Structure 1
Amino acid sequence: MAHGRTLGAVVLGAIALGLALPAIAGPTERVRESLFRRQVGEAAGPPLARYVSEQGRVFILDRSQPIPMLKFEDSPEVWALQPSPAPRGDLIYKNDLGEPVLRATRLGGYTLFTDTRPSGEAVSLIGGASPLRLMGLSPQALGERLLQASVRSGRAARRPVIFEAEATPASAALIADAATVVSLAFLKMAGRDKDRVHLSRVARVQFTSGNAVSATLGNGVLQVVVAPSRGMAGRPSSDKLERLLRSAK
């Protein structure tokens, strides 16, 4: 009888242990999958959301498309980001100059890098957001956008700056966005005494479309080639244009 009771206790203990193990292993396996089975180039957290930094800057991060996009609420510019692996399994999102803009941890935390906080500042999730997409544009609307960018750039440079474009229905919206970005580069440079002098080298801005993004400056003409197949990533950023204008002879 004692032997039977002992054997029964062992069997019941084994059954209890067997029933308990899946309850413990389930969450553990899910955590392990989230930490170690994530593909390179992916980050935890919602693919589309609004965030706020410690200094109060609000931005949208859109990872719902092949090329991640970021837009600050206080600026019309959308930044195309390139993710690259970092230590501890983190990801660094860089701009088209290869400079870090955002760091993502495996657990979904983000650090924002700015000119005022180059060492980074933590950000917090606010909520949902609308996707960052280009909308179709008519020839008349494109002409108006080019004229607006021309006026803003001319005021910044303190001389007339003519904007021209060879556009198609597929490239019109992207060229309009690129014109806005060029004017932002002019405005930022005009606000710095050491950079304002470089704006006098530009008398005309010409936009065309192609397979690759590029920007060159020669004989007073800033030529910008946009790549419609890349969506909003198919034009140079204002930072890249600033570097070009500063380095031009």
Structure 2
Amino acid sequence: MAIALAAAALSTLATASQAQAQNQANAQAEQSQSLRNNSPAPRALPPTGRYVADSGEAFILDRSGQRPLLRFDRRDETWVLRPTAAPRGDVIYRNDAGDQLLRVTPGGGMTVYTPRAPGGSPASFSGPGQSLSPPNLGPAQLFQLMARRSAMLSRAMGRLIEINLDTGEQAEGLSVEALILSTDAVLRISRSPTARSSLDRLRSITIIEGQRASVTYSRGDLRIIVAPTQGVAGRPSSARVIQAFLAQPAPIRR
């Protein structure tokens, strides 16, 4: 009988322990469900479309691909945006040179940063916008583009500036963008009285294909690597090109 009583007591304790554990599990499940129900809604992201800032500038935001893309009206360059966290749950979108272009609040409010509005200007959705995928021209049009761009730079610099392109068909769209944005960057620098001297050694622009997008400037050659494996981010921006020129020491004048 003593053994039976002891077994009954152990059985009662085990049953009570199991019931207590089940109650704790139920309480934890209810608490988790309550936390999920009370958690904030997912972040509101701006939709693809055309936006207009209070400063008067308009741009297309394309979120159809892996990375958000932005292009201002009457501009040839498409900016690839990279998100970074900011205070109060905001997200800052920067280009590959680290320049801030957009700031988006958790509620979807958007601010755009431009040379006209360096402190930021609120922007609002105004309608649909087209895709900003890289263009494909074909061999004949690509050769004509290279010739036109070489002539533009040669006139601006007062000497021949060669453009060399050695990429495959898969990299054609990126090569076209790299060609346009790099020559535009050179033209912008050439119009600056203080920065033009950084172009004194420039003799050629070379675009090749590689594993990672990059830009270097050495011995008079601006060399740009485009990387199709990186998608739309597989070419440097004009801001990176300008950085490459300005990072060079100024030439010594005798």
Match in the other structure for 1:53: 53
Bigger Rg, which one: 2
* Contact residue 44 and residue 108 of structure 1 kept, 8 A: yes
Q: Percent identity?
A: 33
Q: Distance in 2 between matches of 1:154 and 1:231?
A: 31
Tell me, in whole angstroms, the C-alpha distance in 1 between the residues paired with 2:73 and 2:215. Answer: 26
Pairing of 1:11-160 with structure 2 (within 5 A): 35-38=40-43, 43-46=44-47, 48-160=48-160
In 2, the alpha carbon distance for the partners of 1:172 and 1:37 equals 38
* Separation of aligned partners in 2, 1:129 and 1:84: 25
Aligned counterpart, 1:24: none
Shift of 1:142: 1.6
Q: In 1, distance between residues paired with 2:157 and 2:107?
A: 46
The 3-state SS of whatever aligns with 2:169 is coil
- Residue by residue, what CA displacement relative to the aligned partner does 1:122-162 show, whole Å, maximum 9, x if unpaired? 11211111111123332222211211221222233232110
**CA-CA distance at 1:75 after TM superposition:** 0.6
Q: For 1:156 and 1:240, how far apart are their aligned partners in 2? A: 21
Q: Residue in 2 aligned with 1:15?
A: none
Distance in 1 separating the partners of 2:71 and 2:86? 23
Q: Which runs of 5+ in 2 are unaligned?
A: 1-36, 250-254
- Note the aligned Cα RMSD (angstroms): 1.6
Contact 2:62 2:68 in 1 (8 A): yes
Q: Per the alignment, in what secondary structure is the counterpart of residue 206 of structure 1?
A: strand
Q: Look up the SS of the partner of 1:193 in the other structure.
A: coil
Distance 2:192 2:111 in 1: 27
Does the 8 Å CA contact 2:161/2:204 hold for their aligned counterparts?
yes
- Verify the 8 A CA contact 2:55 2:116 in the aligned structure 1: no
| Counterparts of 2:51 and 2:75, CA distance in 1 | 15
* Structure 1, unpaired ranges of 5+: 1-28
CA distance in 1, matches of 2:103, 2:158: 39
1:180 aligns with 2:180: yes
Q: Read off the aligned partner of 1:58 and give its amino acid letter.
A: A
Structure 1 CA distance for aligned equivalents of residues 217 and 151 of structure 2: 20
Aligned match of 1:214: 214
Q: Are 1:223 and 2:223 counterparts?
A: yes
May I ask how many residue pairs the two structures share in their alignment?
213
Supply the AA of the counterpart residue of 2:154.
G
Q: Secondary structure at the match of 1:201?
A: coil
Alignment-mate amino acid for residue 64 of structure 1: S
User: How far is 1:215 from its partner?
Assistant: 1.0
Query: TM-score, normalised to structure 1's length?
Result: 0.81
Structure 2 counterpart of 1:44, one-letter code: L
TM-score (norm 2): 0.79
| Cα distance in 2 for residues equivalent to 1:141 and 1:168 | 15
Q: Are 2:242 and 1:237 equivalent residues in the alignment? A: no
The 8 Å contact of residues 212 and 225 in structure 1, kept in 2 or not, is answered as: yes
Take 2:197 and 2:170, find their aligned partners in 1: how far apart are those partners?
35
2:195 corresponding residue in structure 1: 195
Aligned-partner Cα distance in 1 for 2:46–2:171: 33
